[in-house]
Structure formats: structure tokens, C-alpha cells
């Protein structure tokens, strides 16, 4: 039986056997039996890590340490409200911070704690439901994710693809009008400013 450690674009954590490209961290989320606890939103630092780093390894979902989460790709992680890790993904982190600064029109380079505070307010309501916002699709950058018909869609330049834990489905043209955006607003600004998330190979499939 798969563990409940896969993150969706809504930020929820589900059990699914499919593998992803990235590891994630929100702090310690599970109990001694490896079950997810109810306090899954306590920490503001939600990060996206490399699957491997310096050969470090341990069994997943151990109590009293940070809980390993997994994402299909970086666009999924960004939509869920995570940012690149400053340790194992330093180059991506620096690129993200630079784009986040430019996109959000800040005069000085922000510290991680400041980014985390903004992103925390943009990803979850007090009742733990997902924060979304409305925006014209024409104004959204590639790499952002929207919700339509209860499905998360990854935007490309002119098309979009439906998300699933195992990969993206067949592409279709972007819609017109307003969209419900899953990716936090400040992260959308970073994407507009040029940050390029790592996408699952199915995002480029010829379908």
C-alpha cells in the first residue's frame, strides 16, 4: 500500500504509487505509526528538495524528524505553495529569489523567511482550505497551474495539460476569460519574471 506522502497542486497530501521528480519538506507531519498528523500547516517554510543529495538516505516518514513529501514536478510543488530549497537546490533557489524579487517589485533581495511568510498567507486559509485567486488566462505565465472542472491544469505558452499524480494528459488550447489560479500570486509573479520550473517529461509529450 502506498504511503500518504504525495502532494497535489492543491497542497493536499494523498497516497499514490506514482513516482515524482522532487522531494518536499514542511517539517514533522507524522506520528510514531507513520500516519499523517492533523497539524500539517504549522511551519511557514515549505520547500522543494532534490530526490538525492550527497548520498544521504533514511527510511521515509519517521517520527520526530521532518516528513518526506513527493511531487510530480516543480510546477506541482509551486502550485502547492512550496519554493526551492536553499541547501540542496541552491542554484534554483537563487534563481527563484531573484525572479520573486523582480516579479514582486522589491527593491532589495528578500530573505527566505520573508518569502515564506508571504507564501504562507497565499496558500492556505485559516480553515486550511486552498487559497486561490481569479486572473485572466491571457495574463498567466507558462508554468502556472489553474483549476477548471475540478481538475488542475498546467499552463504552457498556448496550451494546457491536465495534471495527475502520474503525469500530464493530452494538451488542449488555453481557455479565454478568467481562471481560478492554484499557484500562489507571488509565485506567479516570479514565473512572469522568468523563473523556469522543472517539468515532468509528460508535459512535453506529443499528445
How many Å apart are CA 169 and CA 162, to the nearest integer?
5
Measured CA angle at 200 (ends 194, 204), to 5 deg: 80
* Phi and psi angles of residue 32, each rounded to the nearest 5 degrees, phi first: -65, -25
Mean pLDDT by 10 residues, the chain (207 residues): 88 89 84 66 86 76 77 97 95 98 97 95 86 97 97 97 97 95 98 98 79
Burial of 95 (0-12, 13-18, 19+ CB in 10 A): middle
Q: Supply the pTM of this predicted model.
A: 0.91
User: Can you say how many angstroms the Cα of residue 97 is from the centroid of all Cα atoms in its chain?
Assistant: 15
CA 166 to chain centre: 15
- What pLDDT does residue 128 have? 78
pLDDT of residue 43: 77
Domain count, the chain: 1
Residue 187: what pLDDT?
98
Confidence at residue 134, expressed as pLDDT on a 0 to 100 scale: 97
The whole domain housing 161 covers 4-204
Q: What pLDDT shows up at residue 44? A: 86
**pLDDT at residue number 32:** 66
- Identify the pLDDT of residue 29: 72
DSSP string, 21-36: SEEEE-S--B-TTS-B
What's residue 4's pLDDT? 82
End-to-end CA distance of the chain: 31
What one-character-per-residue DSSP string does 128-145 give? SPBP-EEEEGGGPPTT-E
Amino acid at each position: 500500500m502506498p504511503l500518504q506522502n504525495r502532494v497535489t497542486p492543491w497542497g493536499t497530501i494523498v497516497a499514490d504509487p506514482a513516482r515524482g521528480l522532487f522531494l518536499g519538506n514542511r517539517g514533522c507531519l507524522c506520528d510514531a505509526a507513520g500516519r499523517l498528523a492533523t497539524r500539517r500547516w504549522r511551519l511557514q517554510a515549505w520547500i522543494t528538495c532534490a530526490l538525492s543529495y550527497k548520498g544521504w538516505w533514511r527510511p521515509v516518514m519517521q517520527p520526530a524528524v521532518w516528513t518526506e513529501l513527493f511531487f510530480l514536478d516543480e510546477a506541482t510543488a509551486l502550485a502547492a505553495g512550496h519554493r526551492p530549497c536553499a541547501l540542496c537546490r541552491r542554484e534554483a533557489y537563487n534563481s527563484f529569489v531573484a525572479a520573486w524579487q523582480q516579479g514582486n517589485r522589491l527593491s532589495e533581495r528578500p530573505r527566505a523567511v520573508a518569502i515564506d511568510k508571504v507564501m504562507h498567507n497565499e496558500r492556505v486559509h485559516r480553515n486550511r482550505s486552498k487559497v486561490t485567486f481569479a486572473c485572466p488566462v491571457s495574463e498567466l505565465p507558462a508554468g502556472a497551474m489553474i483549476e477548471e472542472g475540478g481538475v488542475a491544469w498546467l499552463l504552457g505558452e498556448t496550451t494546457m495539460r491536465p495534471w495527475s499524480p502520474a503525469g500530464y494528459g493530452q494538451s488542449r488550447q488555453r481557455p479565454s476569460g478568467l481562471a481560478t489560479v492554484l499557484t500562489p500570486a507571488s509565485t506567479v509573479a516570479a514565473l512572469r519574471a522568468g523563473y523556469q520550473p522543472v517539468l515532468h517529461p509528460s508535459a512535453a509529450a506529443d499528445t
